[in-house]
Structure 1
Amino acid sequence: MNSTNRSTNWFNTLAVYWQPGTRSMLFLGFSAGLPLLLVFGTLSYWLREAAIDRSTIGFLSWVALAYGFKWAWAPLVDRLKIPWLTASLGRRRAWMLLAQISVIFGLCGLAFSDPLQGLHRFAWLALLVAFSSATQDIAIDAYRIERAAVRLQGVMAANYMIGYRIAMIVSGGGALAIAQWASPNETGYYLNAWMFAYLAMATLMLVGVITVLLIKEPDVHPNPDTLEQEDVVDRIIEQQDWLPGVVRSFSEWFYGAVISPFADFIRRYGWHAILILALIATYRISDVVLGVISNVFYVDLGFTKREVAIVANVLGVIMTLLGAVLGGMMVTRVGVMRILLLGGILAASTNLLFAWLAGIGHNLAMLTLVISADNLSAGLATSAFIAYLSSLTNVSYSATQYALFSSVMLLLPKFVGGFSGVMVDGLGYVNFFLITASMGIPVLILILMAMRYLPPSRTPNQEAATEGA
């Protein structure tokens, strides 16, 4: 193949990012990313400026745990119909719209609340925003999986990440800037300034609302094997005449919505499910464990807040998005598993650069190189990983199964990351980073085992509709 043809093929791959199906993920990603900091970092800043004590702020941060437990109500998003909305929009768009309206309502409620006058009401409104935002995530993930085939999931994930990151910049620095602009003085607590900032954020949620109204509902149908399995159980339950009718009906629904998604995963993969879950639970361990202590590391090396803000927050975000785009293109061209392996290698090896930086000390050029490489590899790996998780789901249970996978993905890394400070105190930074790099070795072994032993996936999303994607 000559260079002209190769260039054309890569250009065609890049053009996929702006086709209607994939383009919509930019705006849905923005809608998903906007509420997160508004109930976490930005909200903490508001509360501290209002002179709320640190322990209370810490307890209030628990509202963000809703994102970690979204698997608990994901079955409802898969199976429960919303009156009028589901019939008008379809099950995915209906849940997205309901969640977005709830987020807007919660943000407006926060805007017109004063934590000094009613902290309990304030906390409940923050929980409403977090719960609604997590529900929106469930519905968007299911929509993304059902909207395009696996080969395009990397592109869909990359666009989603771009929108999500932009939204976090807006809801973090942007909201603080609006509150500062609306304040009559540089310092002091001004409730009206925060009201203006949160109303502005609520208005920006209309980006998601408009997108949901414009996009198409995915045209997918339940797997016949899945329906047959559910029918068998339904018939068994119906034969239990000693049970009241309402109990039999609820049992049938509960099996289909809650038990069947997990049973389906085990049934399709058998003992291989253990291998898959082990890979999901460890794939991001190198990145997450290092990330817990990274800002402390920068401070200990003597980097200023300005240096860290420019290099880590600005350049780092840019490199993450570039990596996401590159990862999405590579998944489209060469497949999920190869890029998953490449992402695993890069994620572990870039931790060695942190060990190198720890030995050098304060060096801005080296910091720039390390953060650029780390964020580029993280973006690439995340695109491939999201595409991989999407390939594992059955479209009959997209919301439930993906919510489970995404929760398993962070459970072990977050737990191990909690010991990162103890590890640094006992071993020093160089040895700590060498250990985090070595954590990637079992991951690479699991990927190679998955490539060799896992049977081809038989889920309908392998051939999901790609019209406009």
Structure 2
Amino acid sequence: MSERRQVAAFTLLYAAEGAPIGFIWWALPALLRSEGVPIERITSLTALLLLPWVFKFLWAPLVDALRSRRWGFRAWILSAQLGMAAALAPLMWLDPAKHFDTWCLLLLAHAFAAATQDVAIDALAINSVAPARRGLLNGCMQAGMLSGRSLFGGGALVLASWAGPSWMMAALVAWILLAMPAALLVDEPTVTGATGRGAARELRAGLTAMLATRSLWIGLGFALISAAGFEATGQLAGPFLVDRGVGTATVGVFFGLVVVGAMLAGGLLGGRLSDRWGRLRSVAVFLGGFVVAILLVAAADRAGAPALAHLALLGAMYFCVGLFTAASYALFMDLTLPRLAGTQFSTFMAATNACESWSALAGGRLAASAGYPSAFVVMSLVSVCSLPLLALIGRDARLQQSSPSHP
């Protein structure tokens, strides 16, 4: 297939990936808070909904293994998208405050289907795209991801403030259904390699090699705590701004335009700087950047600063988040074994999602008991505690390079 067609297809597919993530991580907390749902219940729900993304690596091998000429990656994607839409449709008629438990169950089913969609799209991209074209394609896919997040993170709140939550949910369902034909634009990869018991033996051998690498475990530890500061602050940002008198429409514009623009600019700059400065140095500097920004948010709130100051400082934090994300994801790629790239990188991504889950839960509890500023400060200090692990990663890399067996 042509390169343009391939780029367009994966851009649309990543936009479909970004939509549920933007809705769950950005729009949902602010929406529920505006409906009067307590913050503890909101953060507990968001933490629960992140679990499918945390544990998707457990069923990811099924997506790779359960393939045939009639059932491939495209079938996985389309089935997952149908499940996503079916789980969201009833929410158009259910009040979130009165039917909170039903919302939880349906959103969890949606999150499971969405996480499975992510696995299948990534597997399709890895198996379809030539290495020489992955740079351009990855940039376009991230643009699609951010577009989806923007439309259904911030844009959804704007629509909800104008037309009500039901129309917001209808728009998300329609977006998912409209994105389905994009999977058909990509040719299904040919099924190769061993089948049956042979495929199981290959999988076991690869997993054994992956689990024996020291860098895997150090990298997982770093992924589990390094982003705690901005993950907790990001989850609390919507309710925090609402509680400080910022309207939901303004919050929607902030997430839909300012946050996406800041992360996009930070990501492009962070990737380039990490190539020039070195991965470890860049990650450490960018981590320090978002920690400083969060501490300033806490200080501004203690000082009674106006809402505009909070918006500006949170925007600066998200710019640093873009810097850090680009550099840290490149670091995780550097740590990944090439022969098991999909599984190991998914494991690192699952750890980052686990960080989001536990950080949201811990940050919500801290905010409810001690206030927003205390939650921001404590969770930022947790991120600082990951720096020794970064030093261990650097030491391990130097030892491998000095080893006579190192290629």
The normalised TM-score by structure 2 is 0.72
Contact 1:315 1:372 in 2 (8 A): yes
Note closer, same or farther for the CA distance 1:72–1:365 as it changes in structure 2 (3 Å cut).
Answer: same
Note closer, same or farther for the CA distance 1:340–1:213 as it changes in structure 2 (3 Å cut).
Answer: farther
Matches within 5 A, 1:170-189: 170-171=151-152
Q: Which residue of 1 aligns with 2:306?
A: 363
Q: Which residue of 2 aligns with 1:141?
A: 122
CA distance in 2, matches of 1:59, 1:418: 6
CA distance in 2, matches of 1:96, 1:294: 32
CA distance in 2, matches of 1:55, 1:444: 30
CA distance in 2, matches of 1:58, 1:304: 20
CA distance in 2, matches of 1:157, 1:163: 10
Note closer, same or farther for the CA distance 1:367–1:95 as it changes in structure 2 (3 Å cut).
Answer: same
Contact 2:14 2:144 in 1 (8 A): yes
Q: For residues 127-156 of structure 1, give each alpha carbon's deviation from its aligned partner in whole angstroms, at most 9, with x where no partner exists.
A: 554332211111223345564759966x76
Note closer, same or farther for the CA distance 1:294–1:394 as it changes in structure 2 (3 Å cut).
Answer: same
Contact 2:265 2:319 in 1 (8 A): yes
Q: Gaps spanning 5+ residues in structure 1: where? A: 1-17, 87-91, 187-192, 228-233, 235-248, 457-469
Q: 250, 253, 260: which is aligned to 1:317? A: 260
How far has the Cα of 1:32 moved from its partner? 0.8
Which is further off, 367-376 or 302-311? 302-311
Contact 1:301 1:362 in 2 (8 A): no
Q: Which residue of 1 aligns with 2:19?
A: 34
Q: 351, 354, 368: which is aligned to 2:294? A: 351
Q: 33, 53, 59: which is aligned to 1:67? A: 53
Note closer, same or farther for the CA distance 1:105–1:333 as it changes in structure 2 (3 Å cut).
Answer: farther
Q: Which residue of 2 aligns with 1:340?
A: 283
Q: For residues 339-370 of structure 1, give each alpha carbon's deviation from its aligned partner in whole angstroms, at most 9, with x where no partner exists.
A: 43333232223223224323432234532431
Q: Give secondary structure in 1 for the equivalent of 2:285.
A: helix
CA distance in 2, matches of 1:425, 1:206: 38
Note closer, same or farther for the CA distance 1:159–1:392 as it changes in structure 2 (3 Å cut).
Answer: farther
Q: 74, 78, 81: which is aligned to 2:64? A: 78
Note closer, same or farther for the CA distance 1:423–1:38 as it changes in structure 2 (3 Å cut).
Answer: closer
- Tell me which amino acid in the other structure corresponds to 2:330: A
- Tell me which amino acid in the other structure corresponds to 1:76: L
Q: For residues 97-126 of structure 1, give each alpha carbon's deviation from its aligned partner in whole angstroms, at most 9, with x where no partner exists.
A: 44335445656x648x9659x999998876
Matches within 5 A, 1:78-227: 78-86=64-72, 92-104=73-85, 110=90, 129-144=110-125, 147=129, 159-171=140-152, 194=166, 200-205=171-176, 208-215=179-186
CA distance in 2, matches of 1:273, 1:310: 39
- Tell me which amino acid in the other structure corresponds to 2:176: M
Note closer, same or farther for the CA distance 1:321–1:25 as it changes in structure 2 (3 Å cut).
Answer: farther
Greater C-alpha Rg = 1
Matches within 5 A, 1:320-469: 320-331=263-274, 336-394=279-337, 397-412=340-355, 414-420=357-363, 423=366, 432-454=375-397, 455=400
Q: Which residue of 1 aligns with 2:211?
A: 266
Q: Give secondary structure in 2 for the equivalent of 1:418.
A: helix
How far has the Cα of 1:377 moved from its partner? 0.8
Q: Give secondary structure in 2 for the equivalent of 1:439.
A: helix
Note closer, same or farther for the CA distance 1:58–1:310 as it changes in structure 2 (3 Å cut).
Answer: closer
CA distance in 2, matches of 1:39, 1:372: 20
CA distance in 2, matches of 1:180, 1:368: 19
Contact 1:67 1:131 in 2 (8 A): yes
CA distance in 2, matches of 1:121, 1:316: 30
How far has the Cα of 1:429 moved from its partner? 5.7
- Tell me which amino acid in the other structure corresponds to 1:204: W
Note closer, same or farther for the CA distance 1:95–1:340 as it changes in structure 2 (3 Å cut).
Answer: farther
CA distance in 2, matches of 1:345, 1:67: 26
Note closer, same or farther for the CA distance 1:168–1:49 as it changes in structure 2 (3 Å cut).
Answer: same
CA distance in 2, matches of 1:260, 1:434: 44
Note closer, same or farther for the CA distance 1:375–1:94 as it changes in structure 2 (3 Å cut).
Answer: same
The normalised TM-score by structure 1 is 0.64
Q: Give secondary structure in 1 for the equivalent of 2:67.
A: coil
Q: How many residue pairs were aligned?
A: 392
Q: Which residue of 2 aligns with 1:463?
A: none
Q: Give secondary structure in 2 for the equivalent of 1:205.
A: helix
Pairwise CA RMSD: 4.9
CA distance in 2, matches of 1:365, 1:47: 23
Contact 1:102 1:132 in 2 (8 A): yes
Note closer, same or farther for the CA distance 1:124–1:446 as it changes in structure 2 (3 Å cut).
Answer: closer
Matched, 1:281 2:266: no
Contact 1:22 1:156 in 2 (8 A): yes
CA distance in 2, matches of 1:266, 1:446: 18
CA distance in 2, matches of 1:312, 1:47: 16
Contact 1:63 1:127 in 2 (8 A): yes
CA distance in 1, matches of 2:104, 2:361: 26
CA distance in 2, matches of 1:330, 1:291: 24
Note closer, same or farther for the CA distance 1:217–1:332 as it changes in structure 2 (3 Å cut).
Answer: farther
Q: For residues 153-194 of structure 1, give each alpha carbon's deviation from its aligned partner in whole angstroms, at most 9, with x where no partner exists.
A: 6x766544432332234335656777888x7xx8xxxxxx94
How far has the Cα of 1:403 moved from its partner? 3.1
